[in-house]
């Protein structure tokens, strides 16, 4: 898989050795193929000098290949920022955000790159998340990206301590660190689950003046709130502390869009995009706030040991469900149009973007109705709103797969992952379950782990059909 416009660099070996068959995961297809080859050669040389016996255990973190890969990644990050920048702009995504706010996500990355030219903490954050995505994409060691991540956090402390630096710069680093931890959950406590007094002292006065915040800062706050919701699901504990979440400012919509970079050929009017898509994203953001409240009512976060507990959960759920229905009734006019009508009225490229966004946002709404039934623990055989919701989800996804050229060439929009996963584990019918599993597998971007989730959904669904009841779905947040 090649980033748009990328070409294989000239390395020590311009083509693979004889008899070496290329595969999509092949290291020789990696944009840093010269680094991969040098790493392999040095690793082999060092291993020859330190031969293991068959009984000697494998060494992972300190192995020659791992250490060399880490150092080469660090050198690449410092010496060839343009290569990392290109990959960051073209290939780094944020699950739960970029599919739903694609244009602003694209413009935000350009703005972040510009800020990184004068702020070392931001530059390190870009290098860390980019190196992580490249390692995950090409199956490379993660040691280099983790080293850059640690360096980013150290530099962030210095940035916070410099009162002359704008807090907006600090916020960019916060987002990059949280995105890294989202894409690569570690064994330790997330950075912003622990409350730094210095960070709180910088955040508190800044948050009290939302009228002075830039378009980029507003978007980053909105996206951080979405990521917090996503990481609270399925038993997750979130990536930020409750204190930090409470201090984050609330903005009244519509949210200002990020201005496009100068001298850019977008091929699509940002103003036209705002008119059509901004209200849809506003709907999605408000939906995610309600979704976070639903997540806190699951048995992972809320006691269910007494009848009083269960009754309180039922009452709160009913209130949230009422707010969900109000949100649905107030959805934008563009969401009320059928995909066929949108395609008839809009130019093909614009129609594809709008119908895809409407589809994933509407499917996200139906997913919350399914989640509510799982929170309440109603029998899966009972005909409730979740039954209707999964049928609506299938209709939306089938339409996208049938009509969208992008789906045929690029795979299914990752925004459908959670609705399809809930569809699969809510079904008690093998044919419907298999349909959802097959659709999940059509999501190609490796950062979304579609192979794992399709397998997990199948195993979970099979267990439910055997037991004829819902079983726990705690694993990764999705």
CB 478 within 8 A of CB 418: yes
Domain co-membership, 199 together with 292: no
Give 192's strand partners: 240
pLDDT tens for each residue of 312-330: 999 999 999 999 999 999 9
- Of all residues in the chain, the percent with pLDDT exceeding 90 is 57
Domain co-membership, 215 together with 279: no
Domain co-membership, 288 together with 435: yes
pLDDT band at 33 (very low <50, low <70, confident <90, very high): very low
Domain co-membership, 307 together with 344: yes
19 inside domain: no
**Residue 37, number of CB atoms within 10 A of its CB:** 18
pLDDT tens for each residue of 245-256: 999 999 987 899
pLDDT tens for each residue of 145-178: 999 999 999 999 999 999 999 999 999 999 999 9
pLDDT tens for each residue of 294-312: 999 988 888 888 889 889 9
Q: What are phi and psi of 444, to 5 degrees?
A: -95, -25
pLDDT tens for each residue of 452-478: 899 988 988 888 888 777 776 655 455
Domain co-membership, 242 together with 276: no
Of the candidates 104, 120, 454, the residue with the CA atom closest to the CA atom of residue 280? 104
475 inside domain: no
168 inside domain: yes
Of the candidates 114, 104, 113, the residue with the CA atom closest to the CA atom of residue 259? 104
Of the candidates 433, 436, 427, the residue with the CA atom closest to the CA atom of residue 380? 427
Largest CA distance in the chain: 71
* pLDDT on residue 21: 41
pLDDT at 217 over 80: yes
What's the mean pLDDT in 7-25?
35
Domain co-membership, 119 together with 230: yes
* pLDDT on residue 229: 97
257 inside domain: no
CB 138 within 8 A of CB 32: no
258 inside domain: no
Which residues span the domain enclosing 236? Answer: 27-48+61-185+193-247
pLDDT band at 30 (very low <50, low <70, confident <90, very high): very low
Distance between CA atoms of residues 145 and 148, nearest Å: 5
pLDDT band at 198 (very low <50, low <70, confident <90, very high): very high
Domain co-membership, 309 together with 205: no
Domain co-membership, 293 together with 401: yes
pLDDT at 342 over 90: yes
Of the candidates 173, 172, 252, the residue with the CA atom closest to the CA atom of residue 211? 252
428 inside domain: yes
68 inside domain: yes
* pLDDT on residue 187: 72
Domain co-membership, 209 together with 302: no
Domain co-membership, 224 together with 350: no
Domain co-membership, 239 together with 277: no
Q: How many CA atoms lie within 13 A of 322 on its CB side?
A: 6
* pLDDT on residue 63: 62
pLDDT tens for each residue of 223-241: 999 999 999 998 899 999 9
Instruction: Name the domain count of the chain.
Output: 2
Domain co-membership, 277 together with 311: yes
CA angle 46, 49, 54 (to 5 degrees): 100
* pLDDT on residue 413: 95
Distance between CA atoms of residues 125 and 116, nearest Å: 9
What's the mean pLDDT in 330-342?
95
pLDDT band at 76 (very low <50, low <70, confident <90, very high): low
**Residue 361, number of CB atoms within 10 A of its CB:** 25
3 inside domain: no
């Amino acid at each position: 898989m090649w980033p748009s416009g990328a070409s294989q660099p000239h390395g020590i070996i311009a083509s693979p050795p004889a008899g070496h068959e290329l595969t999509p995961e092949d290291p020789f297809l990696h944009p840093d193929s010269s680094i991969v080859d040098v790493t392999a050669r040095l690793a082999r040389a060092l291993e020859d000098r330190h031969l293991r016996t068959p009984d000697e255990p494998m060494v992972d973190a300190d192995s020659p290949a791992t250490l060399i890969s880490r150092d080469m990644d660090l050198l690449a990050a410092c010496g060839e920022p343009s290569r990392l920048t290109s990959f960051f702009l073209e290939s780094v995504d944020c699950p739960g955000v970029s599919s739903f706010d694609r244009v602003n996500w694209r413009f935000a990355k350009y703005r972040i790159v510009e800020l990184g030219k004068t702020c070392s903490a931001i530059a390190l954050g870009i290098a860390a998340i980019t190196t992580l995505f490249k390692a995950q994409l090409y199956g490379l060691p993660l040691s280099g990206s983790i080293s850059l991540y640690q360096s980013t956090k150290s530099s962030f402390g210095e940035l916070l301590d410099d009162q002359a630096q704008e807090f907006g710069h600090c916020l960019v680093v916060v987002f990059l660190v949280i995105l890294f931890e989202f894409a690569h959950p570690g064994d330790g406590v997330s950075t912003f689950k622990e409350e730094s007094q210095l960070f709180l002292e910088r955040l508190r006065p800044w948050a009290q003046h939302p009228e002075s915040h830039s378009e980029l800062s507003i978007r980053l706050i909105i996206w951080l709130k979405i990521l917090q919701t996503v990481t609270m699901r399925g038993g997750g504990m979130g990536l930020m502390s409750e204190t930090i979440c409470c201090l984050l400012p609330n903005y009244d919509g519509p949210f200002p869009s990020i201005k496009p970079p100068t001298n850019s050929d977008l091929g699509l009017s940002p103003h036209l995009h705002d008119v059509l898509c901004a209200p849809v994203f506003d709907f999605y953001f408000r939906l995610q706030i309600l979704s976070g409240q639903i997540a806190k009512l699951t048995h992972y976060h809320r006691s269910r040991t007494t009848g009083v507990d269960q009754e309180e959960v039922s009452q709160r759920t009913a209130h949230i469900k009422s707010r969900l229905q109000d949100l649905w009734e107030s959805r934008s006019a563009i969401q009320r149009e059928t995909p066929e009508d949108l395609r008839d009225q809009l130019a093909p490229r614009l129609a594809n973007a709008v119908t895809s966004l409407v589809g994933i946002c509407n499917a996200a709404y139906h997913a919350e109705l399914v989640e509510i039934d799982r929170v309440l623990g109603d029998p899966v055989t009972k005909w409730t709103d979740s039954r209707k919701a999964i049928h609506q989800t299938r209709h939306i996804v089938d339409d996208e797969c049938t009509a969208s050229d992008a789906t045929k060439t690029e795979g299914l929009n990752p925004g459908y992952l959670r609705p399809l996963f809930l569809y699969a584990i809510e079904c008690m019918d093998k044919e419907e379950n298999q349909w959802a599993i097959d659709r999940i597998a059509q999501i190609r971007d490796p950062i979304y782990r579609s192979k794992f989730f399709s397998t997990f959904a199948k195993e979970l669904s099979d267990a439910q059909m055997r037991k004829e009841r819902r079983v726990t779905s705690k694993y990764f947040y999705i």
